[in-house]
Structure 1
Amino acid sequence: MSQAFNAEAQQSRLEERAGMALELARQLGADACEVGASVDQGLGVSVRLGEIETVELSRDQGIAVTVYVGNRKGNASSSDAGDASIRAVVEKAISIARYTGEDPASGLADAALMATELPDLDLHHPWALSTDQAVELALRCESAGRDQAGITNSEGASLSSSEVVTVYANSHGFLGSKRGTRHSLSCLLIGGSGDGMQRDHDFTTARKASDLATPESVGVSAAERTLSRLGGQRPKTGRFPVLLAPDMARGLVGNLLNSIAGGALYRESSFLCDQLGETLFPEWFTLGEHPREVGGMASAAFDGDGVATRDNVFIDRGRLASYMLAAYSARRLGLQTTGNAGGARNVRIQAPTSSLEQLMQQMGTGVMVTEMMGQGLNPVTGDYSRGAAGFWVENGRISHPVEEFTVAGNLREMFSGLQGVGDDIDRRGSIQTGSWLIDSMTIAGQ
């Protein structure tokens, strides 16, 4: 796949196309212009019950042009990067701009903020994987899981490998390109029978194929997670300590980041509006991003505005130290961009950590949450309520699985009630954290 794709040639082509769009926009009267272009190729296979279900080879491309005529903005896009298509996209964007309302906050980010150093962040690791090899890996994964006693059915295993090239350019003269890869393998299994059936999954993902977990370990882990849920009961209703598994804690970090993002702030749709400097977490908790981390899953030397990325500290020893701003949202708020057009990148927590066993001992009796359902968050008030499943913990030890209950609280109270962070860090995504122990939440069960 990597040889046929030829990422270097694709990058050169996209850079040339972006330059053409910028020049056309200038000729047609735009005061400023920015162009984003990308092309990606991927292989995906899925198997179920030892048989091939799907094989998908994909290649997608696109180019998007945004022009500014005074304080008026217009944008248009196409999946075709040919000469005629680019001209049509630029003409359409300019036509739209002439009819939109004026917005004093619109426009490119300041030229002085453009990234000038574009280091190699080690993000591009193509996998010379044939379809037959991909199918074999997926079959090995599912087979290892199905071989575990108690597994009665399977929803299959899937493997995907993708390679992408992206280019961003603007009329400040900035041109930035990125090449990246992402490979993943997952398995979803079913255990038990009748009304007592349960399902769960596990996965591995990495930029380098050599960093993936083995197919067998993913399948066995998916089986173990599934079997551990058999015999689930509804917990009793009340207020209890809650221990969030790493992937559940990652969701809370995502809620925090969404609440300090510029778009939510200038629309006044966040419970953290006008809260800079306020204490949200315990003093021992710090959270920030490292966008130039070598090999990181979200690493980038420039953001979606072409602004140089930098390390940002959002929570500093418990205090809200910075919002997360792109150029537009920063202007709306009368602040400076933080280089976060496109979101936070490689979010990490600095805090003393404890083992999962220590956190369970600390909580005593309560609920460990390993799965949540629904989107029960009011971003304006921070009120939080979601369906959940997991395990009942009694006297510091797992007693039995629990299901069909709701956890509820308020994000501000949940953040301030953080009692500990686990050393069981899930490193598979951009946001990396261990388990979180929260002092008290409302459990609605039986």
Structure 2
Amino acid sequence: MSDFNRLRSLTEQLLTAARAAGADQVDAVAVDAASVSVDVRAGKLEHAERAEGVEIGLRVLLGGRQACVSASDHGARTIAEMAARAVAMARETPVDDTLGLAEPSELTSDTDSTALDLFDPSPEPTPAALQEAALRAEAAALQIAGISMIESASAGYSARRMWLSASNGFSAGYGRTGHSLSTVAITGTGTGMERDWAGETRVHGADMPAPEEIGRLAGQRTVERRGAGKPPTGSFPILYDERIAAGLIGHLVGAVNGSAIARGASWLRNDLGEAVLPAGFDLIELPHLPRMPGSRLFDGEGLATRRRALVQDGVLQGWTLDLSTGRKLGMASTASAMRGVGSPPAPGVSNLELSQGNRSREDLIRDMGRGLLVTSMLGASINGTTGDYSRGAAGFWIENGQISHAVNECTIAGNLRDMLLRMTAANDARDWRGMKVPSLLVEGMTVAGA
């Protein structure tokens, strides 16, 4: 992969070309990325893929107008054409007075991401090593009694370096790596077929669990789903397993995103300073955790990131804002801008952690008596403005405080505002998760089954 000097040079060339073309303000991104993935099935290599290249992106601002362009070619002629095209596009867009770069005084001076340890210095794993890891996971899953086949076992690696420069004087970058391994297993045949999976991702390969651990877990989860049927219809407590509980909290995170708030398209748009979770719950953003894929010292507009409470003691503390949405709402940016090569900044979050409870998942199962433990979800009908919620689900039926049998083909429904205020948390949140959330029990939801 190219070093940072080349990426920085490309962004500087883009800035120079855009200013020469007439732009008032400019920022530019250069990304050098490589990825390799391997899939195996039935003990043999099924698919291998590698992708690599350098992409460049340019954003120009001209009198309150904005345009973004990107390219995978980065020759001098292409850069000049990108700048001219971007300025011409910007002249045709509507004026938005909230657009603009950060003031130089707002920019962070701490841009050395070394302490976050986001780039694995070990040699890139070879395709043969990735294949071996996938084969080991597949073999471990097949050793679980009741597994009829492995749908897929996949291993992958990625490495990415990014540099961001802007006409306000900001210039910095960082690198990030990723290792992944997953297995999908199947039990049964025909209409009685059920599947489940397990997978892990890490920044550093040394932090990955053994392939056998992932394969065994996929196999165990799958055989537990044998004989699944529809649950009864009615109002029951729902326990969101730790595997999917982060998705429930993700709806809250989306509802406090400044883009949704500025459009008036959020069911929490009037709830700043109000209770949105039960008392005692905190939802904290932690962007400086070492070796975590979401960590970053600065956001996509050059502002310093920091620890931030979205919710404290159940009360909503603020929105997730970039510069533009903050200006629309008369607030300061929360240093939450995310930036793609071909898109303008938009608000987003990094690592999140929800308060855990003091009881185990098994305690919550025992106390819920009769209801549904959800371990996977599919499809969604969610109204972002009202919070009305309906999703397909599968998992296990709970009877007399114990897991009775697997269930599938059911729908669970409620309203997110009411659901989140009726939550009880277990103590089983796992490390190495971008959104660290335990199993969550929600009282009084509607289950549509048999």
After superposition, the C-alpha distances for 1:320-372 in whole angstroms (9 at most, x for unaligned) are 11110111111111211111112111101134332111111221211100011
| Aligned with 1:439 (options 437, 443, 446) | 443
SS in 1 for 2:3: helix
- In structure 2, the partner of 1:406 is 411
Q: Partner amino acid for 1:328?
A: S
Deviates more, 1:165-174 or 1:118-127: 118-127
Deviates more, 1:121-130 or 1:262-271: 121-130
SS in 2 for 1:158: strand
Residue 137 of structure 1 deviates from its aligned partner by 1.1
| Aligned with 2:62 (options 66, 69, 78) | 69
SS in 1 for 2:435: coil
1:98 aligns with 2:91: yes
User: Number of paired residues?
Assistant: 438
- In structure 2, the partner of 1:111 is 104
- In structure 1, the partner of 2:280 is 284
Q: Partner amino acid for 1:52?
A: L
1:372 aligns with 2:367: no
- In structure 2, the partner of 1:309 is 305
Contact 2:33 2:53 in 1 (8 A): yes
Residue 127 of structure 1 deviates from its aligned partner by 4.4
Contact 1:152 1:190 in 2 (8 A): yes
Contact 2:356 2:429 in 1 (8 A): no
| Distance across 1 between alignment mates of 2:103 and 2:380 | 37
| Distance across 2 between alignment mates of 1:422 and 1:127 | 37
| Distance across 2 between alignment mates of 1:438 and 1:12 | 51
Contact 2:202 2:292 in 1 (8 A): no
Deviates more, 1:420-429 or 1:117-126: 420-429
| Distance across 2 between alignment mates of 1:401 and 1:389 | 8
| Distance across 2 between alignment mates of 1:133 and 1:60 | 22
RMSD of aligned Cα (Å): 1.2
Q: 1:212 to 1:111 in 2, by over 3 A?
A: same
Residues 31-430 of structure 1 aligned to structure 2 (within 5 Å): 31-119=24-112, 120=114, 121-128=116-123, 129-342=125-338, 343-418=348-423, 420-430=424-434
Q: Which runs of 5+ in 2 are unaligned?
A: 339-347
Q: Partner amino acid for 1:392?
A: W
Contact 2:356 2:438 in 1 (8 A): no
Q: Partner amino acid for 2:119?
A: H
After superposition, the C-alpha distances for 1:119-171 in whole angstroms (9 at most, x for unaligned) are 42100004431111111111111011112211111212000001000111111
Deviates more, 1:254-263 or 1:357-366: 357-366
SS in 1 for 2:60: strand
Q: 1:62 to 1:189 in 2, by over 3 A?
A: same
TM, length-normalised to structure 2: 0.95
| Distance across 1 between alignment mates of 2:408 and 2:360 | 24
After superposition, the C-alpha distances for 1:228-270 in whole angstroms (9 at most, x for unaligned) are 0011121111111110011321001111111110111111111
Q: 1:298 to 1:19 in 2, by over 3 A?
A: same
Q: Partner amino acid for 1:359?
A: L
| Distance across 2 between alignment mates of 1:167 and 1:406 | 45
Residue 426 of structure 1 deviates from its aligned partner by 3.2
| Distance across 2 between alignment mates of 1:397 and 1:113 | 55
- In structure 1, the partner of 2:343 is none
Contact 1:196 1:231 in 2 (8 A): yes
| Distance across 2 between alignment mates of 1:348 and 1:114 | 26
Q: Partner amino acid for 2:445?
A: M
SS in 2 for 1:47: strand
TM, length-normalised to structure 1: 0.96
SS in 2 for 1:183: strand
| Distance across 2 between alignment mates of 1:143 and 1:174 | 50
Q: Partner amino acid for 2:47?
A: T
Contact 1:75 1:92 in 2 (8 A): no
After superposition, the C-alpha distances for 1:36-57 in whole angstroms (9 at most, x for unaligned) are 1211111110001111011112
Deviates more, 1:265-274 or 1:407-416: 265-274
SS in 2 for 1:328: helix
After superposition, the C-alpha distances for 1:149-208 in whole angstroms (9 at most, x for unaligned) are 111112120000010001111111101201010000000111012221101110011011
| Distance across 2 between alignment mates of 1:431 and 1:425 | 9
Contact 2:31 2:56 in 1 (8 A): yes
